[in-house]
Structure 1
């Protein structure tokens, strides 16, 4: 994949951030928190509410919060953050000092969370800024994650967490868990100066695992500042950028970011731009400008500088490629809609031929059937990837994805799985739905998720229904009226037909075979009563009619309701929506 006109905008983003109101509001709140409560006792945080301004929650760092708590602890050992876990990362680790400080103030934080969630439901919810310095920033990060879990982000503003000189809060698994929430990364801004040693304090003392960053980092130096979201580059800076004056810094005193922010607002960038004159590659020029701004390299380039620039170019190119892939996903979705539209046309054409699209495809006798096979493969690949993505997401994010895609998945499954079943049985397959069968996992999951959603909706409807109202029974009026163009509710219907045909073709029916055939007959009858199958199953050349014609040769009982239905014009009434 080729990315043209590459450019890293970290320098411009950095200058935008230092001139933004929320950053200065956050720092002012931290200074106020110290004045109101210098030792961060008895309250961990200070809430600042001003009319027509954001709500700012400033967390402090109680004295002695670090003693003997520099390591990472497993999420198995604490509660309240299970929602972050996913299939790929069922366990993560968090900084021990931060999580213990969080847990020791849990009751107060729960009241604060509930209050903010309730405020977010107002008609004009205010922006929430959550901030803190050093360990207070780590707690602010944890609280923001916890708050995000309780907010309906489709109806309220996302909170903004701004930390100053805060240590990295968790390990690589926590990083991956957070990044699975597609909109959460932009809620975190971490401001770090190369003169401030406190953010690196756990990097050197942590012996149980490596801490990893997430969110946007504003890296500052006397030369300027730049923003970066590249976790690899940020991690390197936490290890390599180290000023001599920072070594003796007392973390509990806090580094003063107020003056740095003011200096950066006034700083001219002309010297940096002079240093990159003659650079013909825009990405390389912008990277050098960023490195100069954050004090990582000097204006005298060296071999080390060249190596670092090459490494960052790889980082940036990787991120740009990922963004390109994300933008391509919308195009891919549109392509899938086109493929589904073609299958709809194919289905209508098959009905015109009095055979039904399942059996037409199974015969594979036309050029259009080959095209359908191509579309089927593309659709299956797309949905297999989509379902795998949902599986790997945290439960909260995955549930949101399911709501958006659930009914599209039902249409896909109803249209495409019969084609897959046709291929399976054409190749001599058996027992498609059993453990010994080969039903693809993503079909099963899409079906299970739909059933879960329908059960939730059914329960909700029952709870809101008035006692005097009679619950609806049987299929709805619209379902009866639209049955002519519907798909089978059970996407495995044709697999059941194939299994019933296999029983008849074997000959010499055993008692167990007859029982299975009767079960299939009952299944069909119940589906008809609920308008759960397409009337296309009654087309003359369909596999179902092939089964029925054989089953009707002395096997079906004379008292059969399905027999009466088939003999007395039931299929015509059914297609017209008049069968009751």
Structure 2
């Protein structure tokens, strides 16, 4: 893989330090501190002050905690289904990650202030529809702000609301690797977190006795010194930098974190001035590998070392070789992910072509007066083998897609499902009948007992979404009654000739009915089940929920009818048998009800 110059972290840092939201957030923290009483009540423990500042289209919510001593507060509590606090953040868990650990003090702060936090959450859900929300906090206030932002994100419909941004200053880490993985499961959530941390501030490192302490960062970190800064997203590199520079803070012991502030305002202003005057770090040239040169320059900027050649001499506690290796690997993983995303885009386009080929196969089968289900079941032509290849490729793609969506946390999985539900429903209705044809051609019975899970889930998700739409439609009709449109109720009738069966398992019912006809003598319940099948077919015809292909001369449905009419005899009468005997289905393809001629 070709190495690229890795200067994006420097460039992003320069953009951020000149952006108004970053400075406005820090000013909101300062203003909040100045408004608090000069002497805090020593008996008031775990108090949380939340303040609101407005700037045109941006609302800044700042968090400030009462002073806490962080030295001995590094313990994490594991949130599992058995834990009483689990329900607060259960939404983060998915199939692959069922539990995670969070700093115990942060959780306790959150619980004790839950009522007030919930009021703010509901308020921000409403305001996020029209205003950009920034959640901010300094030191331990930043830790609580981070938890609150996660809680807020799960309450928002991000297809309608603007994504909130959480900006923390000198915040300690709040959770473990499992929490980081949970956040990454949500495709857009990690980008909602910007953590500003000075290399000289002891608080971001306070829980990190070693890289094996259990804590792991997530989101983007603007690591900085008064000389420069760079943005890093690689959790392992961030962790190593924080741990290995902790010795620099020994002379600056961790204060009571809360109302005492490390001065990020001066650092941000210095970096803003440097960026505006282009007094910024430039790429080093002594390294022949551009990627390595870019990474060394980022590290020099973060650590305030003016020459990358003297990094090791000025920072002897940092293992630069392993650190650079981690950052190189991270950049390469990002490049591979871009290639994977592009590959997914290509696969999606390929699958559209496969579906188009199956649609053509369906049309060609209709012209042969057999229907694509029965043609595929018989497999007499070379084109049937080609259709089988397309079917396999489509099934592999959708099996992987559904499996990925199922493994996501509930909210992210639901968002993903809605995004592909239209395509997934078309796939299920078009391709599952061919899967059913293969199953019964090989002598199978009771298909639904062995139905592939991805078809089950696609149907379940579709039904859930349709139920939501129906409830919303009924609610809107109650609130704003309108005369019902006659054309709306006939929309399915006008398109029935080109549609797919609503029930992708329609042919299962037909196949099972054929089996019943053949085994009627040995099945005492067979006649009743055949009557139930009659009702099922009639309902689908009344609702124009099945295609006219079922009436083609060589279809399995017509095979069933030819057997069934001999079983029941001419004296038996029902709505469906009347439809079939009088052939009132002849104009069904034109949107005419099969009951019209009765």
Q: TM-score, normalised by structure 2?
A: 0.88
2:591 and 2:279 map into 1 onto residues whose CA distance is 77
Match runs of 1:142-221 below 5 Å: 142-204=147-209, 210-221=214-225
Tell me which of 455, 478, 481 is aligned to 2:467. Answer: 455
Indicate the residue corresponding to 2:244 in structure 1.
240
Alignment match, 2:229: 225
Query: Corresponding residue for 1:24?
Result: 23
- Give the 3-state SS of the residue equivalent to 1:97 in structure 2: helix
Whether 2:588 is the aligned partner of 1:574: answer yes
The one of 83, 97, 100 aligned to 1:89: 97
Query: Aligned equivalents of 1:493 and 1:478: distance in 2?
Result: 21
Distance 2:421 2:13 in 1: 40
Task: Name the CA shift for 1:441/1:8 in 2 (closer, same or farther; >3 Å).
Answer: farther
Residues 535 and 575, structure 1, Cα contact 8 Å, conserved in 2: yes
Give 1:68 deviation, angstroms. 5.7
Alignment partner of 1:254: what SS?
coil
Q: CA offsets per residue over residues 317-361 of structure 1, 9 Å max, x none?
A: 012211332233333222222221221111111100000011111
Deviates more, 1:480-489 or 1:70-79: 70-79
Q: What secondary structure sits across from 2:208 in the alignment?
A: helix
Confirm or deny that 1:548 pairs with 2:566: no
Other structure's SS at 1:211 match: coil
Answer yes or no: is the 8 Å Cα contact 2:208–2:215 preserved in 1.
yes
From 99, 106, 131, the equivalent of 1:126 is: 131
Q: Secondary structure at the match of 1:511?
A: coil
Following superposition of structure 1 onto structure 2, how do residues 347-496 of structure 1 map, counting pairs within 5 Å?
Answer: 347-434=362-449, 437=450, 439-466=451-478, 476-496=489-509
Partner of 2:261: 254
Q: Using the TM superposition, give the Cα deviation of residue 566 of structure 1 relative to its aligned residue in structure 2, in angstroms.
A: 0.8
The corresponding residue for 1:299 is 309
The alignment status of 1:103 with 2:114, answered yes or no, reads no
**Contact 1:241–1:296 (8 Å) recurs in 2:** no
Which residue pairs with 2:315 in the alignment? none
Q: C-alpha separation between the residues in 2 aligned to 1:97 and 1:73?
A: 9
Give the corresponding residue for 2:545: 532
Displacement of 1:136 after TM fit? 0.3
Root mean square deviation, CA, Å: 2.9
Question: Aligned to 1:80, what secondary structure does the other structure show?
Answer: helix
Deviates more, 1:518-527 or 1:558-567: 518-527
State the partner residue of 1:35.
34
Q: Structure 1: where are the runs of 5+ without partners?
A: none
Gaps of 5+ in 2: 313-317
Deviation per CA, 1:543-568: give whole Å up to 9, x if none. 11122212222346712322211110
1:44 paired residue among 44, 48, 57: 48
Contact 2:229 2:302 in 1 (8 A): yes
Assess if the C-alpha contact under 8 Å between 1:10 and 1:226 holds in 2.
yes
TM-score by length of 1: 0.90
